[in-house]
């Protein structure tokens, strides 16, 4: 692409220059579209992040300008699709319901919900590990554990009363 008479040096130069150009392109896209692009607030955002990384790697490994350009255009298209879907989700409850999974309650008031663990395929040992990560010392002080739409697990614990608004849209919250 750059130096046809020095293939090894061309390989090194191509890797550095194309990766740098692709990184700059991603920064520009994030600046134009906004930080919401990599927010990881939904499963769609997670896919966006993974796909962008894959395209970035593809751009850095391009062997010709066509492949590099295609990766760059695909990144722009990905950001555009993410922007449009985020706007549609924000403006329409129907679109939100179709695209978004509900968070699920795994534990309430110190009691593990076995049916929720089964449904979500979360092992009790993984749940306990998350409790340790959240510095839980007393299961009785755990108000709720929620498997979020992103796959993250939120642990709500302490001496305070749990405000019902915090778990308003969490599946299984009405059983507590």
Higher-scoring residue by pLDDT: 172, 23: 23
Q: Kindly report the average pLDDT of the chain as a whole number.
A: 90
Q: Which tens digit of pLDDT belongs to each residue from 103-141? A: 999 999 999 999 999 999 999 999 999 999 999 999 999
Measured at the CA of 151, the angle between CA 153 and CA 30, to 5 degrees, comes to 115
For domain 101-175, the CATH class is alpha beta
CA atoms of 119 and 124, how far apart (whole Å) = 12
Amino acid 36: pLDDT: 79
Lowest mean pLDDT among 18-27, 42-51, 142-151: 42-51
Nearest-CA neighbor of 87 among 149, 26, 36, 35? 36
The average pLDDT across 146-153 equals: 89
The domains of the chain are located at 7-97, 101-175
Q: 159 vs 31, 34, 135, CA distance in Å?
A: 41, 37, 14
Q: Which tens digit of pLDDT belongs to each residue from 30-55? A: 999 887 787 777 777 888 889 999 99
Lowest mean pLDDT among 23-27, 98-102, 142-146, 161-165: 98-102
Amino acid 2: pLDDT: 64
Strand-strand pairing, 111-112 and 153-157: unpaired
- 172-175: long-range contacts at Cβ-Cβ below 8 A with a sequence spacing of 24 or more? 172/104, 172/105, 172/108, 172/113, 172/116, 173/105, 173/108, 173/144, 175/105, 175/108, 175/113
Question: pLDDT tier at 154 (50, 70, 90 boundaries)?
Answer: very high
Q: What is the reported pTM?
A: 0.70
% residues pLDDT > 70 (the chain): 97
CB 102 within 8 A of CB 147: no
Amino acid 6: pLDDT: 76
Amino acid 176: pLDDT: 45
């Amino acid at each position: 692409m750059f130096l046809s008479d020095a293939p090894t040096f061309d390989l090194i130069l191509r890797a550095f220059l194309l990766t740098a150009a692709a990184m700059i392109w991603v920064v520009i896209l994030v600046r134009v579209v906004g930080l919401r692009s990599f927010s990881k607030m939904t499963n769609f955002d997670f896919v966006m992040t993974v796909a962008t990384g894959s395209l970035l790697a593809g751009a850095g490994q391009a062997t010709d300008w066509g492949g590099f350009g295609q990766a760059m255009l695909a990144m722009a298209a990905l950001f555009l699709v993410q922007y449009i879907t985020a706007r549609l989700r924000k403006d329409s409850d129907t679109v939100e319901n179709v695209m978004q999974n509900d968070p699920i309650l795994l534990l309430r008031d110190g009691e593990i919900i076995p049916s929720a663990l089964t449904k979500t395929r979360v092992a009790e040992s993984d749940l306990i590990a998350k409790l340790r990560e959240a510095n839980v010392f007393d299961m009785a002080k755990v108000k709720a554990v929620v498997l979020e739409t992103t796959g993250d697990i939120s642990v709500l614990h302490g001496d305070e009363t749990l405000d019902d608004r915090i778990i308003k849209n969490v599946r299984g919250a009405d059983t507590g």
